[in-house]
Structure 1
């Protein structure tokens, strides 16, 4: 390793590595950053090379003119074709790294405290690195996580069910994973933010830009308690291939995947397929048998051995979580606090959060969180004057 390359790596990684808990040295981290630029998501040839030689040594081999390295799983033809894909991008790393610095993104790699070890189940198809904005601790948090996905062209029924599931699970301490698309994904993310839960949004393009653009505020809100991630570097545009490959990360980051609403050929079935391939529990929400918007869910229930999901408790049962108390020491007083807040609400006179906190004896931050959950099922409603009891 030349002193020039070492200096280049240190300078490049100075502001991109996690501020604490970084497990890789600068050269290895820098090499993984460059691999994320060279490759398209899920490149198994790169994965084999990195697994055998390490990211830095594999990068040297990929960019050199030497013969194919000795990797039993790969033929010389595989390596030649892979290098033909990679070499046109060999000098494309400067701009993505600078853009990441400008937007405050971090680079998380295997060995870091923030690295989500669930991704290791993808084997050689795991990403070499993740580009991250938000709370790094949300990635490797050991609490339960669930992926809620579904169609972009969602119906009112699908949006409501996604919001109810997400709000209940997030308020109970689970991490909600989805893809930040319109429709079901957005409904799941919004409900998670509304109850001040922890979520992970997995993008198909760079984390510096919201896609779609209308979700900028949603992703900003999610990143305050959760995290926005991508395996492609900043400045990368989302494409059909990257959306499909992004789905394997959604499935791998979650303990279970639930498809809330999906047509017969919905891309959500791709996520379901990844979950099934990983051996992760898979569920689907049934819809009317006459609804084309739920045909994909019914297909999962019939052909993918999916479990029927009608409530958040069904999701907890799907992976063996205790319905009355979430794992990892999460508070078990949610039901009692909810009852106290309901008692403090009036059916006629609107009351603000501070007044509800005074009447219920529950701290104001928790009142705000649980009001969001109560609003999802109609037990609380709000207007410019405050909150009132609703009619679920």
Structure 2
């Protein structure tokens, strides 16, 4: 079995799994100085875009293509390549299709999609200027495209709204929900979908604290919230998107009115994947490989499910004990260190809250 992987930044997360399956790995990357280029069996440096990876896939006669892309801009090109390669050459591409990417890559289209399928989302309006505002302050201002908190502002006063329009001509404006931030991964392939356990990412703040600077925990344990509801809504969203790969979904749970709100959905690997793996034993990136080799199924995922308490802590530069090899796997580790130097995080798990606290004390 030969698989083409597109993008090297996330490849070290699954290199151990690819090798354990006896898969011949081919990787394309546009940056000749990128990390992890020493791991696959073959590496091809190609221009940006999807034409280079497509040509390599055909030249190498690969059995499947797995894009490992964690940012939004290339996803639409991947989707177009998927549809072309699958239709013309019969090579499966484990990624979202054009419709799913178009609906999820623009926050305004995503809002309309939620309305269409009957999923609750915060009240919103499209502003072309501060004078259009009819929602009560505070509000959250966003651009249609962007990720990682880019171009998002919590406006507490009309002056904050005016300041935002000094930089932008339009804004997606939604009511500010005071409550819990929740993330969940959904795996989808060939019409089958499974929602993994929700992750708690902290409370919303008027300061707009970035999720990377918060301590996150799994499974989500928020008073008044049923995790089965989160999984049910996430499944409904994925089912209506009707495509393959990983879905990353963000929700808010209002403590005031006990309402779950859908915020956004992305068709790519997400930042809480380590926590999800630590909490339930299912590694979403490894499942992409299973989709490529014909080993993905709901029974197989359910058989892997485990139950742990987990947490992810921003730590800067990790100086604790070294994890066992493979260092990015929870199969032989109770913690994983990830992220670039200076911004590293530790994700740890244990079979009880007490043991998790002891492990965190040991690591930090």
Q: TM-score, normalised by structure 1?
A: 0.23
Q: TM-score, normalised by structure 2?
A: 0.24
Kindly indicate which of the two structures has a greater share of residues assigned to helix.
Answer: 1
